[in-house]
Every structure is written in C-alpha cells, then in structure tokens.
Structure 1
Amino acid sequence: MNEAQYFSSSYANARERYLQAAAAIQAPVERHVIPGYQGLEGEDLSTDVVRLGPGSARRLLVLTSGTHGVEGFCGSAAQIALLRDRSLHALLDQLDVAILVVHAINPYGFSHLSRTNEDNVDLNRNSIDFSGPLPLPVNPAYDDLHALLVPPSWPPSDKNARAIADYISQRGERAYQQALTIGQYRHADGMFFGGDRSVWSTRLLQRLFEQHGSACDSIGWIDFHTGLGPYGHGEKICVGQLGSDELRRARKWWGADVTSPLDGTSVAANVAGPVLDTLRRTCTHADTTAIAIEYGTVPLVDMLHMLRADAWLRRHPHAEKQYVDAIHDAVREAFYCNDDVWRGLILGQARVAILQAVTGLAREAARDA
C-alpha cells in the first residue's frame, strides 16, 4: 500500500481527494458550507457527507474526521481509504449495514491548522444542553492556570516556562493534563473552551443523526483523533457509563482493550460535553455504541505546548507572518506525523476498527418494524 496517496497536505487537498474518491464510486455527496468563513487558502469551508451501503439498512456506522480540526489529516485519510475499499463496500450490502462518512466536521480548524472551530470552541466539549436547568461545568484547576497557559508573548518567557515546569514537577503530568483537558466554560479565549451555546458543527451533527439515524435500530460511531498515547498506537476509547450496555457492546465489537476515562484506563481525561453525547441525545430510540480512536504522536507536554501556541495565535491573529507560519507548522507536526510507518499504522488500525464495527452491527438483531 502507498500510504501517502490517502494523506493530504491541507484541508483543501484532503477535501479534493475525498470528493475524487466519492466520484470514483459514483457516490452522491452532501455538502454543508459554513456561511461567512474562508479557509487558510481562501477556500470555502464545508463538511462533506457520503452514505454507503443499502439505503434501507437499519444498522448504521458513522465515521467522523476533524472534530479537532488539525487532527483531520488522520481521519480524512482513513475515510478516503474506506471510499476506495471496494471489498468493504460489497460487505455492507451482504450484511445490510450502512456507513455515513462525515468528512471534516470542523472544517475551519482543519483548514486553519487549529484544534478549535471558528468560535475557538472545542467540539469535544460542546455537546451540552446549554438551555437546560443545570449549571455549566466548572474547572477551578484551569482557572488557576489560565493566565500562564496563554501568555502575552510567544514563545513564552523563561519565567512563564519555569512556572509551567514547576506545576508539572509538583503535581505531575496527569494532573496538568486533567486541569487543561476536561474542558472549561469561563474563558472564551482560552484552551479547551466548551462554548456558551451549541455551535454550527454540533448542530450539523444533530441534523445528520436525525436524517440518517431516525429509522435505525443500532448505530455505531468511530471518531478519529490524534495527539495522545504511544506513537502510532490507536487507543479505542468509549465514554459510555461503566457497567452500561454501550461499554459492553464496545468491548464485544472492538475487543477487551477498549478503554474508559471513567475508570482511569484511558490516556484521555473524562471530559465534559463529549461530542459522542450528541448521538446519544439525538437517537434515543436506537442502541448506540461509540468510540474515539486516539492515535499517539508526540509526548503529552509537547502536544499541550503546541495547543498553547494555537491559543496564543487565536488571540493574536495579526501576528507577523513568520510567527504564524512557524506555529502552524509546529501544530501540524504535533498531530500529523509525516512518516510512512505512522501513516501505515493509522490506516491498518482504522480498517480493522471499521470492519469490527460493521460485523458487530451486523450481529445486532434488528427490531420488528
């Protein structure tokens, strides 16, 4: 396999390859354009959707890429490889399972090489009922760190770097990760901001689930991510409640190594408002089984450092071009490893996970119509 043919150099290049792969199998494409925004190359920004398999299938697998923008290089490649996988397409007809391929659910972040969306919102913290009676989650540990995390200048001063290093030395990397990544809802210009409303991409996901999942009895979901864990290893993370049918099904489909942030077995923190909750709230009539696959890239502190740079750049959109380009390049390298071994690991593990999900869905008994 020539792994490089599936991976792209930019959002625009990834979208072009995705559309070419869809055209090669004559698959219709739904295009959903973000109004009022352009990409880094001046291009329109859209989430593009292809449905494969029988139109009447009542078992559906959803594949999403680019939830965290710049992480889209990985998920896009897995989706393009799937669109070109004729043997898997034949299996869908045989097993009566459909796949919904949602390319670049956060196209702004993908194009602008940022984790967050056009509103600086982390989509994986935004699936919350903002109109509900419950207060938004609070994260006092992040509040204490906010001023340090996004300093007035970049690179950070020696004093700032020492303060961050001291925090990690005293409390540990895990505590530092937890403070930053569980999400926060007070600092709109900060990191891991969950928003104050449901954003465009979250609302689009809800509409897609309503449109394609309303007649389904069982729905699976794989959301592709990068940045945490050992180099090239794809950890399968389920945020279903411990002891729930969802977690049981996830381990039945994908194996006993499916991890959970709720019991501390996952590299990821137990975040507020995970994007996978959108499916659970929208399709309450169906059995839902969702995982994120998290592929490792660089060490944790290095990855978080580049997200600090990303946040700084959001605060300073008119920074000198040399700083902008340097930060963009560094952020891309933190989430996409330009290495054939890494790329091969991504594609191999993605195909296995997709096949496991399809066969797992096929074993789920359809309900009486």
Structure 2
Amino acid sequence: MVSIPECFSESYAEARAKFCAAAAAAGGAIRSWLNPHARGPAGEKLHLDTARFGPADAGRMLVMISSTHGVEGHCGSGAQVAWLCTGGPAALPDDTGALLVHAINPYGFAWTRRVNEDNVDLNRNFVDHDKAYPANEGYRALADAILPRDWSPDCLAESQRVLEAYAQKHGAFALQGAISGGQHSHPDGIFFGGLKPTWSNRTIRAIAREELGRARRVGVIDYHTGLGPFGHGELICTVPPTAKSYARARAWYGEELTSPEDGTSSSAVVTGIMTDAFPQELPDAEVTSVAIEYGTYAVPDVLNAVRADNWLHQRGDLASPVGKEIKADMKERFFPAGAKWREMVWTRADQTIGWALRGLAA
C-alpha cells in the first residue's frame, strides 16, 4: 500500500532521489540535464530529470511537468512520484507513452523560489524574444511598492497604501494582473519574463523535439500551486478560447476547464507560458495542454510571500532571522504542511491524468 503523503518531499534533493528511484523501479528510461548556471544552497549540482515510459514510437504521449515555478515542485514532484508508485506506467494504454519532466526549474525548487537563477519566471519567458515585449504599464506604476527599500513596517505600510490605491482605482483583479501578468522592464522585480530564453526554456524545447517528435497526439499537464481554494485543483487552459486546442481541452476536461481570457479562472491573463513550447516544437502533432493550479492560501498572502522572497534575494540577508522566516513562509504558501493537502493533490491529479489518457485515446 502506497502512502501518498510520503510521495511528497521536503527538499529538492529528497524529491530528486524519490523521483529517480520510483522511475527506475517502474522501468522508466531516465535522462538528466545538469544546469550549468546554478548550484543549490549547499553548493550541490542541480538537475532536470526525465523518465520515459511506453513504446519508443508511441503515437500518443502524456507529459507531466513539475517545478515550472521552482517551489511549486514540491507539489508536482509528489504527484509524479505518486503516479509512479501507484502503477501508472504499467496501466498506460496501447500506443501510449508517458514523459515525466521533473524539476524543469531545479534552482527555484532548491532555493524555495518561484523564479530561476536569473530571477526569471519561466511561465513568462516563452515569448518571442526577437519581437517587442508585451508592455505592462501597471507594473511600472507599482514597481517601487512591489520591491520596497527594506522590509520594515513603515516601508510595507507605504507599499500597501500604493497597492490599495491602485486596486480602488482599477479593481482588485486589475491589480493582480498588473503584478502577476508578467513584465520585462524590471529584472529585479517579480514575474519578470527575462530578456532571452533561459536554460530551462532551451532545455525543455530540446527535450520536446527529442522525446516527442514521433508522437501524433500529446497531452501536457503542468503542476502549479498558489491560487484558489485550499487543496482544489483548478484546470486552467491558457490558449485563447478560439483555438482548436482549447476545444480539445474542453472535450477532455469538460466544465471543469477554466480560461483566464474568458474570466472563469483564478489566474490573470499571462503571456509567454512554458507549455507554449510544445506546439511550437511539435508542429505536426496535436498538443492539448492544461495546468493544474492547486489552491493554498489567500491570494494577497501568496503574493506577499513572493514579494518578500524577491526582496530577500535582492536586498536582504538569507542567513538573518527575517530571511529564515521569509523562506519558511514562502514554502508554506506554496506547499502547505500536513497530509490532507497532499492527499487532495493526488486525488485531483489522478482524476486529471485519467481524463487526459481518455482524451488522447479518443
């Protein structure tokens, strides 16, 4: 009998060991990519790992990705390990394979951050870097409030006044969009999309071409945390509702599916998301992508943890008592302690994987 809570890990190193062991035990073909640009908090090397199951020429491929937003890898890794340990690979239908991408952002996972080693949010980095970047005037107006001089009561009170004034003028969802929609103007800010493709961006594109090039149909599940009711896994489709892949996702997931563009999602409209890479790199395949967004705590508390973590890495001292407090809060906001939340994560993941496999086979 598999203990689902024990499939989850308290650190990147523990998660990597569990994933590789479970993938090997299930007969997966494991590959590893060393991130040459970053090390972990103890100076350890950081890897993106993949495990592939099923026929080499499988026409249908299920892809599961963890840690697009580093610290959220605690959740995604746990779901991946639970799938491996509950017989997922052995139950794959004929002509169907699976590719598990573990810790696409190993730096963020290891350092308890959403961003990568360049302070880049991977889910804002998959834009066309040869074109003008999307403007975010709201972020420009709020940048100084988002990253205050210091994390003192006076500075935080002034920042809060600015943020509340913006929300009063434009609305609370507009404030969320201005902060979290993505920006390319402030490299020291949050939700920064970067000024070039990151290592993780280039690596996942290479993996897609190498591992999925023979597939006719590809279903992608990307694991996230931090928005929505506690433990609920919202199924978010980020392509426009007019896209063919949106219609497929609706057929697979039904009324459960939400869309930032039609206002049914807890997420703001975002540009440059990671799953955009798959249809770009696999033009001859039908790609159907969904993000599972697991709720943790109230959005203001989650955003405040992200702001605090960014301030800490830009202007603070990680070894200080305040630094340790910020890090502990960051982890809890994206990976709540206790068995109940983890069991809820797997229940929803198991259900979603089932829907995706039926969709691939339809």
> Helix, strand or coil for the counterpart of 1:267?
coil
Runs of 5+ unmatched residues, structure 2: none
- Contact 1:95-1:362 at 8 Å conserved across structures: no
Q: Distance in 2 between matches of 1:113 and 1:288?
A: 31
1:158, distance to aligned residue in structure 2 (A): 2.6
Deviation readout 1:343-363 (Å, 9 max, x if unpaired): 111001001111111121112
Q: Does 1:248 align with 2:247?
A: yes
Is 232-241 or 35-44 further displaced after alignment? 35-44
Which position in structure 1 is the counterpart of 2:91? 91
Corresponding letter in the other structure for 1:181: S
1:224 corresponds to? 223
1:172 is matched with which residue? 171
2:124, 2:184 → 1: CA distance? 9
AA paired with 2:13?
Answer: A
Corresponding residue for residue 149 of structure 1: 146
Alignment deviations for residues 243-278 of structure 1 (CA, whole Å, 9 cap, x no partner)? 322111111112222011111111111111111111
Distance 1:98 1:362 in 2: 11
State the partner residue of 1:47.
48
Please say if residues 27 and 53 of structure 2, whose CA atoms lie closer than 8 Å, have aligned partners that are also in contact. Answer: no
Cα pair 1:297 1:334 within 8 Å, conserved:
yes
Structure 2 equivalent of residue 367 of structure 1: none
Choose 302-311 or 241-250, whichever is displaced more. Answer: 241-250
1:201 alignment partner, SS class: helix
**What amino acid sits opposite 2:345 in the alignment?**
I
Code of the aligned partner of 1:237: I
Instruction: Find the counterpart in structure 1 of residue 58 from structure 2.
Output: 57
Counterpart of 1:160 in structure 2 is: 159
Secondary structure of the corresponding residue to residue 258 of structure 2: coil
Q: Which amino acid aligns with 2:294?
A: Y
> Shift in Å at residue 170 of structure 1?
4.2
SS of residue matched to 2:274: coil
1:102 paired residue number: 101
CA contact (8 A) 2:37 2:117 kept: no
Q: Find the counterpart in structure 1 of residue 35 from structure 2.
A: 34
Paired with 2:318 and 2:218, the residues of 1 have a C-alpha distance of 44
Work out the CA distance in 2 between the residues paired with 1:164 and 1:14. 37
Are 2:21 and 1:20 equivalent residues in the alignment? yes
Cα deviations by residue, 1:253-309 (Å, 9 ceiling, x for unpaired):
122220111111111111111111111211111111001110000001111111101
- How does the TM-score come out when normalised to structure 2? 0.96
Of 52-61 and 157-166, deviating more is 157-166
Q: How far, CA to CA, are the matches of 2:340 and 2:172 in structure 1?
A: 27
Letter in 2 for 1:260: S
CA contact (8 A) 1:173 1:301 kept: no
Matches within 5 A, 1:307-326: 307-316=306-315, 318-326=317-325
- Distance in 1 (alpha carbons) for counterparts of 2:23 and 2:360: 23
In the TM superposition, what is the alpha-carbon distance from 1:90 to its structure 2 partner?
2.8
8 A contact 1:189–1:314 mirrored in 2: no
Q: 1:325 to 1:158 in 2, by over 3 A?
A: same
Looking at structure 2, the residues matched to 17 and 148 of structure 1 have their Cα atoms a distance apart, in angstroms, of 40
Which letter maps to 1:166?
A
Judged with a 3 Å threshold, the aligned counterparts in structure 2 of structure 1 residues 193 and 106 are, in CA distance, closer, same or farther, namely same
* Offset at residue 313 of structure 1 (A): 1.5
8 Å CA contact retained: 1:229, 1:294: yes
Q: Secondary structure at the match of 2:257?
A: coil
User: What residue in structure 2 maps to residue 357 of structure 1?
Assistant: 356
Contact (CA 8 Å) 1:64, 1:101: kept in 2 or not? yes
- SS of residue paired to 2:291: strand
Secondary structure at 2:13 match in 1? helix
Describe the superposition over 1:104-141 as per-residue Cα deviations: whole angstroms up to 9, x where unpaired: 0000000000010000000000111212xx31110000
Q: In structure 1, how many angstroms separate the alpha carbons of the residues matched to 2:316 and 2:24?
A: 37
Amino acid at match of 2:38: Y
After TM superposition, the score normalised by the length of structure 1 is 0.94
Is contact 1:12-1:43 (8 Å) kept?
Answer: no
8 Å CA contact 1:222, 1:291 repeated in 2: yes
How far off is 1:172 after superposition? 3.2
Give, in angstroms, the shift of residue 317 of structure 1: 5.7
The secondary structure found in structure 2 opposite 1:95 is coil
Comparing 311-320 and 279-288, the one that deviates more: 311-320
Task: Write the distance in 1 (CA, Å) between the matches of 2:339 and 2:164.
Answer: 33
Q: Distance in 2 between matches of 1:90 and 1:24?
A: 11
Q: Which runs of 5+ in 1 are unaligned?
A: 364-369
Residue number in structure 1 paired with 2:192: 193
